[in-house]
Structures are given as C-alpha cells and as structure tokens.
C-alpha cells in the first residue's frame, strides 16, 4: 500500500540498460545489498526484468535490471529485447551502463539510437573503472559525450563499490516527490519462486559451456515445508533443455554435475529463505523451447506482463 508523501519524500523508477556483461546485475546486487539478480560471464544471463528496491531515509529507488540488448536470434531473444525496450517507458531515470574495458561498439550505437527523442534523463554510467588506468577515462568519456545529451556521466566500479554512493545521490536529485511504493524492508517485487529458479539457473551457467547456458530454463515444481521437519523447506525443480545430448551434459557423469548444481544452489536458496532446504532437481528435454510461444509462456516469459 502506498504511503502518503508529506515530507518531501522522493521515489521513482530507474531502468538499467546496456550491452550484455557490462555489470548491470552486479550493480543491482551491490545497491540492494543481497543477491536478487544472477551473475555470469555468459551473455544473456538476465532474461526477465528484475526489480530491486532501495529505500533510504528520504527516498525509494526502484531499479529495473534488464536483459542485455543484443540482436535476437530466436523468440526468446525477441522477448528479451522487448522487455529491455519496454522498461524505457514511464521510468524517471535511465542508466545506460557501459564497460570501461570495451570501446564503443555497434551494440552501444543501437542503444543510443533507441534513446533518441527520449525525454527521460539518461545517465551514462561507465562501469569497471577498477580494470583500467584512470587516465583512460578521459578518452572513454569523450567517445560518448558527443553522441547523446547525457544528464550525467558517472564512472563507477559496481564490483568494488567505487563511486556508487555518488551515483545514487545524483539519481535521487532527478527523482520526483512521491510515495513509498514498497515496505522499507522489501528488496524486490519478484516472488521467491522466480529468484529460486534463477539461482539454480545461475549454477548451471557457471558449470557448463558452449550452447548449454542459452538452452536451459528452470521451472519450480513445488515449494513446501517438510512434513517431518518443519524447520526444513523442500524445493522441487526441473531444469529444461532442448536436446537429449544437453540433458546428458547437465546431469554429468554418474550425476556429478547435477549434484554440484544442487549443492551450490541450495546454499544460496537457504540464504534467501533463511531456512534449511532440501533441494530435488530433475532434467527434462523440451525440444526447441526457445522458439515456441507456448513453452515460453509456461516457463515464465510472458509478453503481456511487460
């Protein structure tokens, strides 16, 4: 329930856009103070928009982490691009995040074209400054400065936290006075099921290579208290792949890889839920699911929600 604003309280929505792997999810987790967005060095790690809520004494910022913008190769890719584009509507600030280690590329040019004519303040956020020499920043800023009338240009390191507080202070200045949309202790608007499925998917991303990371989806079948031990939560989940050969890879020799996924995911899920977790995982083949609208909807990629 929204609270009445009677003391100059500011609130607003901030969209984080950028090419894949520029550090959007790392930034969101840093600001929120816990993992709500999964991280991987694989492109297209974020598939849905992930909202993180930061409540401070005088403001509430709702950050929207979007899928990395790229040229779509299948229906899932088209969905991801649509999600990213739609978050630009009706937000109060747009954070265009770039990687300080990478020169401006076609993907950045495409995003800048998307932003043309947009009346929303756009921040250029240059991430990963801990990976470059400070003298290089001047050239990086110059390469972007003439391409768009940015409201602010802020260099940061999301990983180390450098200059993040200054970025938050700058964003707050652009937010309108408004209500507190979420309770002060709420950090995301996503249900636990969504975050749990993402945590499991993250472990598969870390432990597999080649085509596997892009071909998986995770469906939570059941979450319930253990009938014999009320202090433990039972989570049952299915990892979906597109081909039989992928199923064998995800399971691993004598089930070794799937077991490792389970061990690593369970630790993160226990931190999320604050309870002991018994995690059961299965692997199922759903051929070419990324190109089938019915499967996309079944697996939580619903265009009507965006």
pLDDT in tens, 213-259: 567 888 888 888 877 777 888 899 999 888 888 898 889 999 999 99
Cα dist from 210 to 78, 144, 206, 285, 289, whole Å: 21, 33, 11, 17, 18
Judged on CB neighbours under 10 Å (0-12, 13-18, 19+), 245 is exposed
Residues 6+ apart with CB under 8 A from 234: 222, 223, 224, 225, 226, 277, 278, 280
- To the nearest 10°, report the CA torsion of 244, 249, 254, 260: -130
At residue 165, the pLDDT reads 96
Q: Which fold has domain 192-305?
A: GMP Synthetase; Chain A, domain 3 (3.30.300)
At residue 225, the pLDDT reads 82
Judged on CB neighbours under 10 Å (0-12, 13-18, 19+), 201 is buried
In sequence order, the β-bridge partners of residue 153 are 124
Whether 21 has a pLDDT exceeding 70, the answer reads yes
Q: What share of the chain is helix, strand, coil (3-state, %, to 5)?
A: 40, 25, 40
Residue 56 region, left (φ>0) first, then alpha (ψ -120 to 50), else beta?
beta
CATH, domain 10-174, list 3.30.930.10, 3.40.50.300, 2.60.120.620, 1.10.1040.10: 3.40.50.300
Per-residue DSSP letter, 46: -
Whether 193 has a pLDDT exceeding 70, the answer reads yes
The whole-number average pLDDT for the span 192-198 is 81
In sequence order, the β-bridge partners of residue 65 are 16, 50
**Paired tokens of 296:** 């996309």
Element (H, E) at 85: helix 75-86
Q: What is the DSSP string of 97-163?
A: EEETTS---HHHHHHHHHHTT--S-EEEEEE-GGGS-TTHHHHHHHHHHTTS--SEEEE-BTTTTBT
At residue 232, the pLDDT reads 87
Per-residue DSSP letter, 198: H
pLDDT in tens, 174-183: 999 999 988 8
The whole-number average pLDDT for the span 101-122 is 89
pLDDT in tens, 28-72: 889 988 766 654 444 444 444 567 889 999 999 999 877 655 555
Strands 50-55 and 93-99: unpaired
Cα–Cα nearest to 123, from 150, 147, 84: 150
The whole-number average pLDDT for the span 88-95 is 86
Of the two residues 23 and 211, the one the predictor is more confident about is 23
At residue 283, the pLDDT reads 92
Return mean pLDDT, the chain: 81
Cβ atoms of 164 and 158 closer than 8 Å: yes
Cα dist from 124 to 62, 128, 147, 168, 176, whole Å: 18, 13, 11, 13, 20
Of the two residues 22 and 72, the one the predictor is more confident about is 22
pLDDT in tens, 259-270: 999 999 999 888
Element (H, E) at 52: strand 50-55
pLDDT in tens, 114-161: 888 888 999 999 999 999 999 999 999 999 998 999 999 999 999 999
Spans of all domains in the chain: 10-174, 192-305
pTM above 0.75, yes or no: no
At residue 259, the pLDDT reads 95
């Amino acid at each position: 329930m929204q609270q009445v604003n009677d003391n100059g309280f500011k609130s607003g929505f901030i969209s984080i856009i950028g090419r894949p792997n520029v550090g959007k999810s790392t930034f969101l987790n840093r600001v929120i103070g816990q993992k709500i967005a999964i991280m991987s060095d694989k492109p297209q790690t974020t598939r849905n928009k992930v909202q993180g809520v930061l409540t401070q004494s005088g403001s509430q910022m709702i950050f929207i982490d979007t899928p990395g913008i790229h040229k779509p190769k299948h229906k899932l890719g088209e969905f991801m691009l649509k999600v990213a584009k739609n978050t630009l509507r009706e937000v109060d600030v747009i954070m265009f995040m770039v990687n300080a280690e990478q020169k401006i590329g076609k993907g950045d040019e495409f995003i800048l074209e998307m932003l043309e004519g947009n009346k929303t303040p756009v921040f250029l956020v240059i991430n990963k400054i801990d990976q470059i020499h400070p003298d290089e920043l001047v050239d990086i800023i110059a390469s972007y400065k003439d391409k768009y009338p940015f409201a602010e240009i802020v260099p940061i390191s999301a990983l180390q936290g450098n200059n993040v507080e200054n970025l938050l202070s700058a964003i707050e200045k652009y937010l309108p006075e408004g209500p507190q949309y979420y309770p002060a202790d709420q950090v995301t608007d996503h249900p636990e099921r969504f975050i749990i499925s993402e945590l499991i998917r993250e472990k598969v991303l870390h432990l597999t290579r080649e085509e596997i990371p892009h071909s998986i989806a995770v469906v939570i079948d059941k979450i319930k208290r253990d009938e014999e031990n009320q202090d433990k939560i039972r989570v049952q989940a299915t990892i979906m792949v597109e081909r039989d050969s992928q199923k064998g890879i995800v399971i691993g020799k004598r089930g070794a890889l799937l077991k490792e996924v389970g061990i690593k995911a369970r630790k993160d899920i226990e931190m999320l839920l604050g309870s002991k977790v018994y995690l059961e995982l299965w692997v199922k083949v759903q051929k070419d699911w990324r190109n089938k609208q019915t499967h996309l909807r079944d697996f939580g990629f619903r265009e009507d929600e965006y």
